[in-house]
Structure formats: C-alpha cells, structure tokens
Chains A and B, each alone.
Chain A
C-alpha cells in the first residue's frame, strides 16, 4: 500500500519536474495532514468582519431582489432547512431552469480556499456574484441590483454605515454576503469535541470508524486536515446524473453549461457527463475531477457528490468499498482520469457500520435560522429640476 502511494507520488512529482529540483523526496506515505478540531475561519484582510456588515449580509442573503426576477435569493438554493444546501440531487435553479450540480452547503464554506465544485471562485466574495448573476442560478444583473438597493432606504442606510457608500455598491453586496457566510461555522461536532480531548464525545463504534477512516478505508488520503478535505480534485467515477437521461430541462442546462464554459464544438457535440475541473483548465487530464468535499454538517446535506448521486452515508460507503465507480472519464470514452487512490476496500458489514457511525459524528446541532424580515422599497425623495 505504502509502496503504491510512494510510486504514484513519484510519478506525479516527475511529471511536475520537481524531482529535478530535489523536492520529490519530501513526499511520504504518511504526510497527510492530520485530522484535527476545527479552528476559526480565515478572515480576508480586505473584508474584515463587523457585526453591522454581518447583519447586512444576512439580509442580502435572504433577499430575492438580488435575483433577476426578484423571486430567488441565495437562500432558495442554500436553504437553512435543507442543510444550507438543496436536498435534491441537482439543485433547483432560476425559475424556468434547473441547475446541473448539487447545491453545496454554505456551512463552513468560509474555510475553503476555492468555491464551487471545481474551485471556479477564489473567495466567497467572488463566489456570490457567480451564483447571483449566472443564468441558471440567480440570473441577476449588476446595474439592476444596485438600482434596486438604492430604493430600499434601510439598505441605503446600512451600506453607508458599513461601507461608506452614498448609494449601495454591488461589489459591497458580495462582501457583506461573504461576511455573513463566515458566521455559518460548524466547529463543535462530536468529532471536534473528541479531538479537543473529550474522549466521551465519540461512541466506541465511532472510534472504530475513525480508525477505519484513517486506516483500512483510507478516507484520510483526501479527507484530511482539520477541514477533512485536501481541497484537491479527483475523478472517483461517480456515475452521471440520471436527470440528463430523463429530463428535457436538465438536458438544456447540460448543453448550456458546455456552451457557456467554452468547450470546443467537437466536445460540445459528444460530451455526455460533467467534465468538472476540465472546464477550468481545459486539460484532458482534468476531466471528471471534482474537489474533495469537506465532511462536517453532512448529516443535513444529503444527497452527496457533485451531482447528488448518493442519498445516504451507506450508499457513499458502499461506493468507496467498491473502489469507486465508472463514468465517461474512467473508461476512455472521454478520458481515463480515475484516481488510482481508489481500490476495493474489503470492508466487512460491521466495518461499514462503524464508518457510517463515524460520519454521523461529523455533524452537531443543526444551524437554524428563520428568514429575516426584509426592508421595503420606497420612492426616492423629489429633487429640484435638473434640466
């Protein structure tokens, strides 16, 4: 096992040309960042947290006037009652549309280096407009967002207090939303309590599951560090979304995404699955890869994987026990990029149950939040004629 890993790392290192620099030797089979309790999230220097900004961001997160037809807010696809995500395999989208990927939870998004399933946004401040303005999500538009906010006196007041804006500026909308999202922190799960020294926080079964997680099941190869993700991209062979075979609406969005993400016409014609990281890098070797998901709060965020293929922990564990799956990017139909980290695990039924029990320890109290009362539009005061 260790030998195989060392070999694959050597191959990667060679391909990066690092061996020549003498850096290849730093790779080791035991170098996975250790699991740990979660600390506070990083706060960017150019968007410090203040209570007023967080409150403003909360209002904006729930305000459907950010969306194109004023009917969808962030909270419509990131619903507090659905794990701050959306409990269908594929997220709802803008009215008249369906999305094409599973809606990820906002909880603990503050810790992630990049956002979206293939890391298309480098910060929460950058993720928010991607979602709010995209045709299959918010379908909003910057000028209209600014114009609408200017007619909501409560926002005019708050943007002035928080950002010094004469009139609300759209880039500050994203900043306030990001500040609010950085408060949706889940860092006190039974697992965190256990890692902080409360050995009673996990049951014996969960402790066995933790050992499997780090040992025989080798989850830790990717789900490592305090966040339980290496934030890297892999093709696990997750099967394609069933929706694409059955739903006209889903087929439309699938093609739209190929078109909008700028694939070649040749690829547009033949692709039948989500090529993942490829859309960012346009490297065939990245086809079908998605970022390792963080694992806290998952009791509330089913279904799982980038397209919601699995509905419960048991299905997920079975998938890994089988050594992952097959898709168009594992069998040379489009590419052959499945990670060789996945091999059949040979877990017994009892071991699977232990692992599931441990996964359950990664969620604590549900983060509930009622929809706040939103401020209303009002006419602008009259001004002297400007003719």
Chain B
C-alpha cells in the first residue's frame, strides 16, 4: 500500500514536472515590466538599515551588503562569492533585484517558501553570516536607533521575528525599473534580438515571465568552476553544505550537485540542475552562471549557440542554435536592454553612517532588560 502510494505520488510529481518543463507555451509568457510591490515604508526603511549593518553577522564583520552590493546589481561582481570570514563561497552571488517575486531561492532552489526563511538562512548559515539570532536580537536591542525604528514600524521591541520580516520588506523595494525593454526604447538590434529570444534561440523556454525566469531548475551543462575544487576554503564550504544538505558520498564528489538537494533522485538525473536565473540587470551582475564561469554576455550567447555544455543529464532542449554572428550580437543587445536604473540611491541604500559600537544603557540597574 505504502509502496503504491509513493509510486503514484512519484508519478504525479514527474508529470507535474513534465508539464511545467515541456508544455509551457512560450506565447503565454508575459515579458512586461516587473510590477513594483507595495511596501510599508517604515518597515522597509528598518529592513534597509539592517541590510547594511555588519552587526548581523557572528563576528560583526560583514553585512548582507558585503556580498549583495548595490552598485553591482546587488551581486558582488565575483565569479564565486566571498563567504563568512574563514570560509570562501562556492557559488556566484545572485542579484537580489526582484527577488521578492521568486518562487524559490538560492541557485539550487533549496528554499521554496518565502523571504522570511531566506533571511533566516542567510543570517544563521555558518558560511554566510554565522549568527546566533538570539545574540543578534540582543545586539539590536542595544542600539537606540533600532529600538525607535522597530517601535515606529509597529514591531514593538526588536526581535528575531521582526528582523525576518523587516529585511524582506526592504527586499520588496528592489524592483527593476527603467529598462529600455520596459520603456519601449529598444534599438533595432535589440528588437531583432527579442524575436530571436522568443524564436530561433529558444531562450524563452526557460527565461519566461517578467523576470525572464521560470523559477525551475535545469541542467544546461555549465562546466564546473575548477577553483571550487582547487581552493580548499571553497571546497571546505561545499563539504559543510553537503553534510548539512544530506548529499551522499560528499568527500568523493567534485561537482556541485545543484537542485539535486531538492529532489534527491536516486539515479542522479537531477544532479547539475540549477535554477533559471533572472535576465534582468545583467549589465551589473557579470560574471554569469551559478558558478561565475562565463565572463561576458557574448560568451553566454556563444555557450548556448554551441548547445550548452556537455553533461549526460543536460536538458534535451539545449541544442546548437546556428546563430550567425549578427544574430548573436542582436541577442546580446536584447539582453542588455533588460537592465534598468541602478538601485543605488537613498531609496535603496542606507545613507547614514551606522555606529556599530554599542553605548551602555545608562542607569542599567533601574531599567528593565
């Protein structure tokens, strides 16, 4: 009985995946502007300060903005991210612009709930910010600016739970705006590129919707970044991640299994799948792919024109495209038209200096903790 039920549910999942993967009609995809999200201004402002405050990490050395840099499209411009001090990262820092619209987060899509959980994961994960949130809460309560901001935002006393709400509220403000594609200012080359994107180049099969992502994992055969396996500090981080995620045989693996951590298929056919990244703000976020192995958009287009990389589990829709040099240039022009204004002004970047030292609470004995 149990076996039959699990077979049926496995079939159902397989079918659902098949439908989502292969039957999605390109014509139905809408590529309009990303709609702004209404936010509570005070909560978002609080989240903004938290985002730029290094005291949210265990040793108070890094903030969210250390890796999600506004000038770099809220990525970091590196092939592979930094990590918490003492570690190095094994993936490319993804942009946070439009992140509130995603269905699943991280390149492996391991969190599919909401930004509250993403915030918790990012603050507490050993190789991200390595913070005990109980200690974080007490740090925040020591800062009168926060005490006031939390109260005025309607959260009352600073707490872990409110941090996990306020940061997502701020992230909701990171919405693409002013891209030539959205404002109707496409060059002729970009126009032609858009047609290729939807047609001959088949990009829209996965890069669909207003963010140009289907929020699904796919295997396009992106080659491994050898730096992960030759730099012990990156490989260490990958091993720690593997242990926590339940990846088997982790000491003998020399590849990033990607979304396998979501589905754990016993035949390994889901190894090497990564979430389709958004194509917005690409001009700010080079290098590309989950491991930063492709440096320019020209190279990305060349990669797909070759039919992607080599991988036995590569999505069978990835085939050589036969694009001419001019077609490739048009496609790149189109991709560049998907980048808008830099979100580097006061709306998105905390402007005042954050005093990271903690003043003593005066008359401590007479005050309630």
Contact = CB atoms under 8 A, between A and B. Distances in A.
Whether chains A and B associate is yes
- Most B CB contacts (10 A, CB to CB) among A135, A148, A245, A252 go to A252
A200 B333 CA distance: 93
Interface in B251-278: 251-255, 268, 271-272
A387 B268 contact: yes
B232 A386 contact: no
B358 A95 contact: no
A71 B272 contact: no
Nearest to B269: A387
A255 B233 contact: no
A269 interface: yes
B235 A380 contact: yes
Given A136-B135, A144-B87, A378-B232, A248 B240 contact: no
Size band of the interface chain B makes with A: 35 or more
A246 B364 CA distance: 9
Given A252-B139, A387-B312, A95 B60 contact: yes
A245 B86 contact: no
Contacts of A10: none
A95 B58 CA distance: 8
B361 A386 contact: no
B135 A68 contact: no
A143 B236 CA distance: 10
B358 A252 contact: yes
A385 B365 CA distance: 63
Contacts of B249: 386
B360 A247 contact: yes
A382 to B, nearest CB: 6
Contact of B254 (A167, A253, A260, A383): A383
A259 B59 contact: no
A385 B254 contact: yes
B132 A252 contact: no
Nearest to B84: A69
Contacts, number: 157
A143 B134 contact: no
Contacts of B272: 387
A197 interface: no
Contact of A96 (B61, B141, B252): B61
Contacts of A144: 87, 126-127, 236, 240
Contacts of A312: none
B134 A259 contact: yes
A147 B61 contact: no
A70 B86 contact: yes
Given A270-B368, A386-B249, A386-B255, A248 B59 contact: no
Given A68-B86, A144-B127, A248-B142, A139 B132 contact: yes
Contacts of B311: 387
A146 interface: yes
Interface residues of A, number: 52
Contact of B368 (A148, A250, A269): A269
A139 B358 contact: no
- Most B CB contacts (10 A, CB to CB) among A246, A249, A255, A385 go to A255
Nearest to B361: A251
Given A251-B360, A255-B369, A387-B255, A96 B58 contact: yes
B85 interface: yes
Nearest to B57: A96
A272 interface: yes
Contact of B134 (A260, A378, A386): A260
A387 B310 CA distance: 12
B237 interface: yes
A386 B247 CA distance: 12
A69 B58 contact: yes
B60 A96 contact: yes
A256 interface: yes
B61 A69 contact: yes
Contacts of B142: 248, 251-252
Given A96-B55, A256-B138, A147 B240 contact: yes
B16 interface: no
B230 interface: yes
A67 B135 CA distance: 17
Contacts of B233: 377
B225 interface: no
- Most B CB contacts (10 A, CB to CB) among A136, A250, A251, A259 go to A251
Interface in B297-324: 311-313
A71 B132 contact: no
Interface string B351-369: 0000001111100110011
B244 interface: yes
B134 to A, nearest CB: 5
Interface string A218-253: 000000000000000000000000001111111111
8 pairs of A and B residues whose beta carbons are closest in the complex: A248-B358, A70-B86, A96-B60, A135-B132, A95-B59, A69-B85, A147-B239, A147-B240
16 contacts: A69-B86, A70-B85, A71-B85, A135-B58, A139-B59, A139-B130, A147-B243, A151-B235, A245-B364, A248-B360, A252-B138, A255-B141, A256-B134, A380-B232, A386-B249, A386-B252
